[in-house]
Amino acid sequence: MQLTTHTDYALRLLIYLAISEQKAPATVQEIALSYGISANHIAKVAQTLVQLDYVKSLRGRGGGLVLARQAHTIRIGSVVRETENLKLLECFGPDSSCPIDPACTLKKILGRAQEAFLEELDRHTLADLVTNGGELRQLLA
Amino acid sequence: MQLTTHTDYALRLLIYLAISEQKAPATVQEIALSYGISANHIAKVAQTLVQLDYVKSLRGRGGGLVLARQAHTIRIGSVVRETENLKLLECFGPDSSCPIDPACTLKKILGRAQEAFLEELDRHTLADLVTNGGELRQLLA
C-alpha cells in the first residue's frame, strides 16, 4: 500500500506553492532544490498539475509556477484521486485474470476501504497543510 | 495505491481454504492451479500465513494446508496489516529524506486515511468473504 512518487511530488509541489503564495512564482529548479529531488521529475509533475488546473505556469522573465486555485478550495482527496494509480489489485483494472472475480466480495470491501481512505483525505484542503507555513518555509530554505 | 501481490495471494489463499473447510487439506499445487498463479509464490505466501498462525500445514500423506483459526475470527484488516507494506510514502519509514518531515501535516492526515482504510477492512472477516462459497467453489473448479 504505497502511493506513487508522482502523487508524493505533486503534493509536495502544491505545498511549496501554497506556502510561497505571497512571493514571486516558483521555478521548477527552486522547488527541486528545496526538497532535494529531481528537477526532471518535478517538471513532469508540474505538467500534470497544470493539465489538471491546480497550477498555472506563467511564462517569460519572472515567470514560474503559481496555484491556479485558492488553497482552501483544493481537497487533498481530489488531488490523490487525480494523480494516483487507484488500481488496488489487478482485478480493479479491465483485465482481471482472477477466476473468482465475478463473485468476489473482497473486491467490493477493498473498494469501500479505498473510498474511506479518500474520504478522510477529502476532509482536508491544501490550506490545512500549510497552517504552519512559517515553519515549513524555514525547513525548505 | 496498490497492494502487493503478497497480500493479494495471501487473501486468495485464505478464501480458498475457507471455502474448502469441509474438504481435505488443500495443497499448494491445487490452489495455484485453481487461481492460475505461480505455485512458488503461493508456497511463499503459505509460509508467511503459517508463521502468522492463520494457516496450519499438515504433513504426510493427505497433508496440506488448513485454516488455523475459524474464518469468522479472521479480520481482513488484520491480515492486510500483517502482510502488506504499509509505508504509504518514503517518510513513513525510518529514513525520510524529506526536509519538511518534522513539521508535515500531510503525513499525519495520510496516516489517518490509512487507518480509515484498515478500519473498514476490520469490519469484515474471512467468513464474510465466503458467504457465497458455493458460487466461488464453482468458479475455482
Q: Under an 8 A CB cutoff, do A121 and B109 touch?
A: yes
The range of the structural domain enclosing residue B12 comes to 5-140
Answer whether A6's CB lies under 8 Å from A45's CB.
yes
Look at strands B64-67 and A64-67 and give their pairing: unpaired
**Residue B36 CB coordination number (10 Å):** 9
Q: Under an 8 A CB cutoff, do A35 and B129 touch?
A: no
Work out the minimum CA distance from A100 to partner chain B, whole angstroms.
Answer: 6
**Residue B80 CB coordination number (10 Å):** 21
Q: Which of A4, A109, A139 sits opposite B124 (nearest CB)?
A: A109
SS3 A4: coil
CATH of the domain at A61: 1.10.10.10
pLDDT tens, residue by residue, B1-34: 999 999 999 999 999 999 987 778 999 999 999 9
Domains in chain A: how many in total? 1
ipTM: 0.94
pLDDT of residue B68: 96
Q: Which of B15, B120, B136 sits opposite A112 (nearest CB)?
A: B120
Q: Under an 8 A CB cutoff, do A114 and B116 touch?
A: no
pLDDT tens, residue by residue, B45-104: 999 999 999 999 999 888 999 999 999 999 999 999 999 999 999 999 888 899 999 999
pLDDT tens, residue by residue, A19-51: 987 778 999 999 999 999 999 999 999 999 999
Q: Under an 8 A CB cutoff, do A98 and B12 touch?
A: yes
Question: Could you give the CA distance from residue B19 to residue B4 in angstroms, rounded to a whole number?
Answer: 23
Signed CA dihedral, B7, B12, B18, B23: sign only: negative
pLDDT of residue A130: 96
List Cβ neighbours of B50 (8 Å cut-off, separation of 6 or more).
B56, B57, B68
User: And the C-alpha cell for A10?
Assistant: 505533486
User: And the C-alpha cell for B49?
Assistant: 500465513
